[in-house]
Chain A
Amino acid sequence: MLADAWHYIATHPQQFATALGVHIAMSASALALAAAIAIPMGLVAARRAGVALAAINAANIGRTLPSLAVLALAMPILGTGFAPSLVALTLIALPPILTNTIAGLIGVEPDIVDAARGMGMTARQILRRVELPLATPVIFAGLRTAAVQVVSGAVLAAFIGGGGLGDFITAGIAMMATPLLLVGAIPVTLLSLGTDFLFGTLERRLTPRGLA
């Protein structure tokens, strides 16, 4: 059966490469977009305790929505194809990044911020030199969770015509052709594991030496 899957890839290299490329491009763009939205949002929300709590609660509700439901909801509004899939995946990636950004900043000990302020750092300097470095490990843990969710969630993009490795899986299920299903499933699994490993390494690399 694995041999059949391999045979399929070998005979359709172009089709496989395109699907893999779309999958990665879609995941990476969704993650980048989500980070670009959620990290600044988190920085702002963390300033006020009430807003931070509300944001975390909203994000947690967002998290409970199944990825498929998000995609299904995106379709009637945005139609089908790559762009709606991208939007849906971005929505899926937002909550973990947002909650972790807020948690990371709130977790910085108030005494450390007090000392920084008392020595004459401006708010911007405190953020750049103290709060962000100290929150980095937590923010990165959020990015890691989001990345893995997006890579696996991108499989569902096939349902709304977004392309990617999910195409093989849906086709495999429809045609009851397990080898074809595996052509999608195995690379997605490896991609998820690889993403987790990559972000885990980055997380360790970017954790300041004095912490840990």
Chain B
Amino acid sequence: MISIRGLTKRFDGAAAVDALSLEIGAGEICVLIGPSGCGKTTTMRMINRMIDADAGSIVVGGRDVTRSDPVELRRSIGYVIQQVGLFPHLTIAENVATVPQLLRWDAPRVARRVDELLALVHMAPDVYRDRYPRELSGGQKQRVGVARALAADPPVMLMDEPFGAIDPITRASLQDEFLRILRELDKTIVFVTHDIDEAIRMGTRIAIMRAGKLVQYDTPQAILAHPADPFVEAFVGGDRALKRLSLLPVDAFRANAPPPANAPRIARTANLRDALSLMLSAETDCAAVVAADGTVAGSLTLATIREALVVRA
């Protein structure tokens, strides 16, 4: 969906992005991550020509970005920033209607779309339609920000630390919620963050950048299992084994053998990290895997969890 080749951008002679190449498949969430100044935001902003590249090419859905009209291009790509940037003088509905209005949709169609989107991001249209941004909390503002970016149903979305300014508790629930929404809508997303836990949670694939170069580009699983070099290893953190376990669903490692009678119970939908924690605190080496209706679906052993950690290519 997005194909980046040899992308280079220099600021005052120094390369902020240095011959970067990246392929992002349709429906994928590609997380760009790295320390500040690594060029992740610059890379993202070159995709909708907020910054013009010095060299290289970006093709989005078969179209060469560097040869497209920037205004028309930007209307076809969703754009979400950390500070949200809602227009304070416009109502929530008017904010969400921005791109459809730029595209000259007729009024009834715009109104229908606005209500549809507000409902999608769980902002009751009747309650919030006519409110102003200053009346909303940080989390609500970003819900509106995402709704506004989705308005004209762009196939590609650029998100620059969308949850960066939101408190940790709200952030976790927004991450889950938006992950669900964006997967449902089958969007291709370029997501910039400096939070590795967020990257692991949201990313289909993670691109780790340093000094304008791509250091490693792979699935969260693979990056946690095989960090390409000591920089990546340090970046993903000392608890990468635990992080990997949190990506593995209990259900995939469930054995059909019946669990012992007194085994602690873990949901099929939980992850191995939760299961490990449960077993350690219950001082046992086997847990009962239960389905949503409470029936026992099998068992999970400590040995299985250990095996799961053994790296599979």
Which residues of A does B touch, CB under 8 Å? Answer: 109, 111-122, 125, 129-130, 133-134, 208-211
Contacts and interface: CB of A to CB of B under 8 A. Distances in A.
Interface string B74-118: 111001010111111111000000110010000000000000000
B74 A118 contact: yes
Contact of A133 (B79, B89, B99): B89
Nearest to B70: A120
Contact of A116 (B85, B88, B149): B85
B193 interface: no
B50 A117 contact: yes
Main SS of the interface on chain A?
helix
Contact of A209 (B73, B83, B98, B132): B132
A129 B88 CA distance: 11
A44 to B, nearest CB: 22
B231 to A, nearest CB: 30
A134 B89 contact: yes
Given A210-B133, A210-B134, A120 B102 contact: yes
26 contacts: A109-B83, A109-B85, A114-B50, A115-B79, A115-B86, A116-B85, A116-B98, A118-B79, A119-B79, A119-B99, A119-B102, A120-B71, A120-B72, A120-B73, A120-B76, A121-B102, A122-B71, A125-B102, A129-B87, A133-B89, A208-B90, A209-B89, A210-B89, A210-B90, A211-B88, A211-B89
B85 A111 contact: yes
Nearest to B85: A115
Nearest to A133: B89
B48 interface: yes
Contacts of A130: 87
A173 to B, nearest CB: 49
Nearest to A123: B71
A114 B48 CA distance: 12
Contacts of B149: 119
Contacts, number: 75
Interface of B: 48, 50, 71-76, 79, 81, 83-91, 98-99, 102, 132-134, 145, 148-149, 158
A73 to B, nearest CB: 41
Nearest to B92: A210
Contacts of B86: 112, 115
Contacts of B75: 119-120
B87 A116 contact: yes
Contact of B88 (A112, A117, A118, A122): A112
Contact of B81 (A111, A129, A208): A111
B255 to A, nearest CB: 50
Q: Which 7 A-B pairs have the closest CB atoms?
A: A115-B85, A120-B75, A208-B89, A210-B132, A118-B79, A120-B74, A111-B83
Contact of A112 (B72, B73, B87, B158): B87
B89 A118 contact: no
Nearest to A125: B102
A113 to B, nearest CB: 8
A124 to B, nearest CB: 11
A158 B76 CA distance: 62
Nearest to B45: A118
A75 B128 CA distance: 60
Contacts of A111: 81, 83-85
Contact of B85 (A114, A120, A125, A209): A114
A194 to B, nearest CB: 29
Contact of A118 (B48, B132, B133): B48
B50 A120 contact: no
Interface centre among A111, A112, A115, A125 (most CB of B within 10 A): A115
Given A120-B99, A210-B90, A115 B84 contact: yes
